[in-house]
Amino acid sequence: MKSNMKNVNLIEDAEVAVLNWQKTKIKELNKQKKLDKYRKEFLGNVFHELKTPLFNIQGYLETLIEGGIYDEKINLKFAKKASKNVKRMAKIVEDLQMIANLQDASFVLAAEKFDITELVKDIIESLEVRAKKKKNKLEIKEGCNQSFSVIADREMIHQVLNNLIINALKYGKENGKTQIGLYDMNENVLIEVSDNGIGMDKDQLSRIFERFYRIDKNRSRKLGGTGLGLSIVKHIIEVHNQTINVRSTPGVGSTFGFTLKKA
């Protein structure tokens, strides 16, 4: 009797082990499928983003080769257009390389102590002309300009702020307002960039940090950019072991916020 019970227990244990093994393999298979899908989508996006400027360059050069180079009305114009598309391709490759570097386990931050409020003021000053062209008021939010020192990679945080503010100006309304606020969060500082632009719905919010994701693809390409800016922003903040979030209302505007460690 005891022998039979022992055999039953062994069979039950074996069945449980097999079921657990199946579950593990199914999870691994699903994970692999997701990775394969991600790779295909990523490569497809890279191809699509590089294809447009590449075909443009080809068209401009063929026109010049076929005699356009001798036509003063178009030779310089087409050469400049080809150069603009080369720069766009180079920027895409540069951004992809930066993401790869940030994901590398051996990547080391050049962390230093600096005044984040002063950095915000410097960037606002550098983007003042761009803001005026859009008739957009770019400013530090009233009452949110306290001086804070943080420990971070200054150049990278400069890129984060620059990207977020330029995005806010791009998608903000004419005669609108772009505001930056700095808030004391005990051990951290919260920096927020707000606009009163087109805003985003829940589905768009869930994908906003994906590589090459654009809310309005046609409008985004006309405004410039590679579609990698927000993905880079997210990677930079995460490599600092900090958080970034976004809240938005369609037709009202968006607010991007990230934290940095106080010095």
Could you tell me if 95 and 57 lie in one domain?
yes
| pLDDT of the residue at 159 | 94
20: domain CATH number? 1.10.287.130
Last residue of a domain, one of 40, 73, 103: 103
Q: Are residues 216 and 233 in the same domain?
A: yes
Residues 58 and 141 in one domain: no
Verify that 134 and 229 share a domain, yes or no: yes
Examine the domain organization and report whether 60 and 171 are in the same domain.
no
Minimal CA–CA distance to 172: which of 205, 192, 201, 196? 196
Count of structural domains, the chain: 2
Same domain, 93 and 117: no
Among candidate residues 178, 152, 154, the one with its CA nearest the CA of residue 241 = 152
Q: Say if residue 250 is in the same domain as residue 165.
A: yes
How far, in Å, CA of 172 to CA of 197, rounded? 4
pLDDT tens per residue across all 263 residues of the chain: 555 555 556 666 666 666 777 677 667 666 666 656 656 666 666 676 778 888 888 888 888 888 888 888 888 888 898 898 888 888 888 888 888 888 887 888 899 999 999 999 999 999 999 999 888 999 998 888 789 999 999 999 999 999 999 999 988 888 889 999 999 999 999 999 999 988 888 888 888 888 878 766 544 455 556 778 899 999 999 999 999 999 999 989 999 999 999 99
Instruction: Read off φ and ψ for residue 261, nearest 5 degrees.
Output: -80, 135
Last residue of a domain, one of 69, 103, 137: 103
Instruction: Determine the structural domain holding residue 229 and report its residue range.
Output: 111-261
In this structure, are residues 211 and 42 in contact, taking their beta carbons and an 8 Å threshold?
Answer: yes
Based on the fold, state whether residues 94 and 120 are members of the same structural domain: no
- Given the structure tokens 């386990």, which residue do they identify? 105
Rounded to 10 degrees, the C-alpha dihedral 102/104/106/108 comes to 0
Domain termination site, one of 71, 103, 135: 103
Same domain, 116 and 18: no
Query: Quick one: 128 and 233 in the same domain?
Result: yes
Residues 157 and 210 in one domain: yes
What's the pTM? 0.72
Write down the pLDDT at residue 203. 86
* 116 and 242 fall within a common domain: yes
